[in-house]
Structure 1
Amino acid sequence: MYVLYGSNGSGSASVEAALALSGAEYEIVQTPTAEGMHLTEDFKAINPRQQVPALRLPDASVMTEGSAMMLHLADAFPAAQLAPPPGTPARAQHDRWLVFMVVNIYEGELRKGYSDRYTDDADGAVGVKTSADAYVKRHHTILEETIVGPFLFGPEMTMADIYLWMLAGWMDQDWLAAHCPKITTLAATIGQNPLVAPIHAVHFG
């Protein structure tokens, strides 16, 4: 069984959805970051960086980094067809855009949400947040132009789409609908999937 350590509204949302859609047997261990549960010594033993998500695999080993967990699940459950086969050009593009989202949009969201951690200037946090917001929006518009439809690469949902669903959930929905209608539609489609809908409700209301 997989064990996911996560917190509502956090980066664990995409991993939880990936587990559900993969057909994996799993359980959730709530680790609310708002209550500082990720800062305990017990959780530090699971993830030294004290961040969620963390995923305990059936062999009791632990993974960190949500996108890596999703790629692992894609390969561990190939019948779910949530990523192209390893080594194919299609998989190369899938992984390219998934990593694009991680290093640009996810990291930008961290700068938005925790702007004071990214500057030593007591008055600099506002500028960091403003800059990060523009950066995140720019990269959403790049993705918008990339979407083949209805999902990123065509008719089949992939792990990259699941990750984008999570990122879209963190955005200002009015801005997203006005500037990225294809992302809005994609995210709504995934959010309404019977396996994802209860997860969406927990993480995004």
Structure 2
Amino acid sequence: MYILYGSIGSGSASVEAALAVSGIEYEIVQVTTAEGLHLTEDFKAINPRQQVPALRLPDRSVMTEGSAMMLHLADALPSTELAPAPGTAARAQHDRWLVFMAINIYEGELRKAYSDRYTDDPQGAEGVRSSADAYVKRHHAIIEEAISGPFILGDRMTMADIYLWMLAGWMDQEWLATHCPKIVALAARVRQDPRIAPIHAAHFG
């Protein structure tokens, strides 16, 4: 049994979708960040960083970092074919883009949403937010150019596509439609998967 500690609207959406598509047994524990539940001592014992998501594996060990969880699930459940085989050139590209999104787009979204946490200057938050917005858009544009088919790597949905679906849901949809039509189409394909559709509704309305 996998146990996902997450919160609606957070980065746990992609891991929840990955678990659902994998068809394995899992449980969701809501750690509602809006209520500060991630800041409790109980959750600190699960993730000292006090961030969601966190994933308890069947052996009871705990993982953090959503992109790492998705890579682990792809390897732990190879029959799902949610990532190319380890060691292949296709897997190298898959991991490249998944990590690219995690360290650039996801990180930029954090600076947009929590700008005040990234400066000691009380007047500096707006500059942080504006810079982060441009940064995120730049990296979405790079992904847009890399998409080689209906999905990032071609015809098959992978963990990288599920991750991009989540990130696209956080974007200004009008900007995305104008500048990144391939991302818009890809995200629509992912959210229309019947296993992901209810998760999309819960996290994005």
The TM-score by the shorter chain falls in which range?
Answer: over 0.9
The letter for the 1-side match of 2:113 is G
Q: Aligned partners of 2:24 and 2:69: how far apart in 1? A: 12
Q: Aligned partners of 1:86 and 1:142: how far apart in 2? A: 24
Aligned counterpart, 1:193? 193
Aligned counterpart, 1:17? 17
Q: Aligned partners of 2:201 and 2:60: how far apart in 1? A: 29
Aligned counterpart, 2:57? 57
Aligned counterpart, 2:47? 47
Listed one character per residue, the Cα deviations across residues 140-165 of structure 1 (whole Å, up to 9, x for unaligned) are 00100110110001000000000000
Aligned counterpart, 2:182? 182
Listed one character per residue, the Cα deviations across residues 56-92 of structure 1 (whole Å, up to 9, x for unaligned) are 0011000000000000100111111000000111101
Taking the TM superposition and a 5 Å limit, the aligned residue runs for 1:1-205 are: 1-205=1-205
After the TM superposition, list the runs of 4 or more consecutive aligned residues in structure 1 that deviate by more than 4 angstroms. Answer: none
Structure 1 unmatched runs, 5+:
none
Instruction: Please state whether the residue corresponding to 1:55 is helix, strand or coil.
Output: strand
Q: Aligned partners of 1:83 and 1:187: how far apart in 2? A: 17
Listed one character per residue, the Cα deviations across residues 147-184 of structure 1 (whole Å, up to 9, x for unaligned) are 01100010000000000000000001111011100000
Q: Aligned partners of 2:149 and 2:111: how far apart in 1? A: 30
Q: Aligned partners of 2:189 and 2:92: how far apart in 1? A: 24
Deviation at 1:7, TM superposition (A): 0.2
TM-score, length of structure 1 as denominator length = 0.99
Structure 2 unmatched runs, 5+:
none
TM-score, length of structure 2 as denominator length = 0.99
